[in-house]
Amino acid sequence: YSTFPQSPKWRKEDVTYRILNYTPDMLQADVDEAIAKAFQLWSSVTPLRFTRLYSGQADIMISFAAGFHGDFYSFDGPGGTLAHAYPPSSGIGGDAHFDEDENWTKFTTYSGYNLFLVAAHELGHSLGLGHSNVFGALMYPIYMATDTRDYRLPQDDIDGIQALYGPPRESPVLPTKAFPPQEPTETTSAEAPTQMLPREEPTAMTPSKTPARPEDCDPHLTFDAITTLRGEILFFKGSYVWRRSPYFSGIEHDTISSFWPSLAPGFDAAYEIDKKDRVLFFKDDQYWAVSGYNIEPGFPRPIQNLGFPTSVRKIDAAVHDQKTKKTYFFAGNKYWSFNENTQSMERGYPRKIASDFQGIGHRVDAALQNNGLFYFFHESNQYEVDIKSKKLIRTMKSNSWFNC
């Protein structure tokens, strides 16, 4: 690997980017996704976090242009030079330009250039890496069409970027195992796409201070949010994650940033729609959607998009019923039922939790669905509830999942 003369780098961990325009070769959502995934490659191996801005000046300004485009390095038509980017500094520093005379694609074909691969390379420059003479490295200067499914950053690139920025913060002591592979997902024709609303302010959550990880078997352990993900169960508290999996023994300790570097800690709620291989995270009045490690483009969105009244500024918990395709949202002493097929709140809601869920007379802090049962967590207890009858079966400690 190499760096630029004097090894310029960003002197902060929160770096912003903005996509100034789009190529007509691809859907805008696909461009957004390619760029976001390219940033995730680098954030997954450094302490860096990337936030997208929709207006104003960002550290890394991304644009498509042909021929002469305002700097001293004009593009050259189809082929030849595909893109370039500037090393970290003010002004044009960090900016990445893509030659619009190329045919950009989200595929790896012979008839175009994969935007994710080229963007990942250019963003390496935006972060301070020069070219590598290691054949197969991402920072090798020649375009190499590579399978981008489950693309992993080559070791030379990891070495280079970590020489500049170091490894990610709070790396788990044990190696983090990859999430199970994605199963074929169901698509729902009735799902209406939600308009993404650009925001003036940065899209990152507001980070909070990080206390020490609570002990697994602390009898007073509480959780912010709980969700399943591809057959596993993730328990969230602050920045910490406890991961229980049928594929390995024990409880794995992780952090939110180790899975989703651009999501700040402190979720309010989370749930999985397993048929769509999608998990939604909620914090304050926004929500994000992820698929495995990938944050879906077009997020965050306001929770009002789901049909909450404006008076609801945050939710406490959420859980999805796979059989009925309904998601239950809990806030205060009330709950809503959301139809995932029609993407709308059901009539007659909100209703009082205590009216319908016998034995649950309080707020729900987190909720989980497992093996046909709901588990509602409140403080350091959890309540096992039959989904169909909505009746309480038994009460346990919240950390009974940890084999204490």
Residues involved in catalysis: 122
Least distance to another protein, CB of residue 130, Å? 7
Contacting residue, 8, 130, 172, 332, with another protein by CB under 8 A: 130
Binding region for another protein (CB under 8 A) out of 31-39, 135-143, 217-225, 385-393: 135-143
Contacting residue, 82, 226, 270, 295, with another protein by CB under 8 A: 82
Contact 247, 232 (CB under 8 A): yes
Binding region for another protein (CB under 8 A) out of 114-122, 178-186, 202-210, 231-239: 114-122
Least distance to another protein, CB of residue 82, Å? 5
Binding region for another protein (CB under 8 A) out of 39-47, 122-130, 273-281, 313-321: 122-130
Dihedral of the alpha carbons of 345, 347, 351, 356, in degrees to the nearest 10 = -100
Nearer to another protein, 130 or 214 (CB): 130
Nearer to another protein, 8 or 359 (CB): 8
Least distance to another protein, CB of residue 4, Å? 7
Report if residue 2 touches another protein, rule: CB under 8 A: yes
Contact characters 85-104, another protein, x per CB under 8 A: x----------------x--
Q: Three-class SS string for 164-182?
A: HHCCCCCCCCCCCCCCCCC
Q: 384: which 2 tokens?
A: 């096992």
Contacting residue, 12, 20, 56, 73, with another protein by CB under 8 A: 73
Site for another protein in 138-197 (CB under 8 A): 141-143
Cβ within 8 Å of residue 389, ≥6 positions away: none
Helix (H) or strand (E) holding 377: strand 373-378
Least distance to another protein, CB of residue 25, Å? 15
Q: 281: which 2 tokens?
A: 């995270």
Nearer to another protein, 92 or 174 (CB): 92
> In 10 A of CB 334, how many CB atoms?
17
Least Cα distance to 191 among 260, 270, 278 occurs for 278
Helix (H) or strand (E) holding 270: strand 269-273
Dihedral of the alpha carbons of 112, 22, 10, 171, in degrees to the nearest 10 = -70
Nearer to another protein, 131 or 325 (CB): 131
Helix (H) or strand (E) holding 114: strand 113-114
Nearer to another protein, 128 or 266 (CB): 128
Residue with tokens 């570097």: 261
Strand-strand pairing, 60-65 and 14-19: parallel
Q: What phi and psi values does residue 54 have, to the nearest 5 degrees?
A: -110, 0
Contacting residue, 17, 113, 242, 401, with another protein by CB under 8 A: 113
- What is the binding site for another protein (CB under 8 A)? 2, 4-5, 73, 75, 79-85, 102, 113, 118, 121-122, 125, 130-131, 133, 135, 141-143
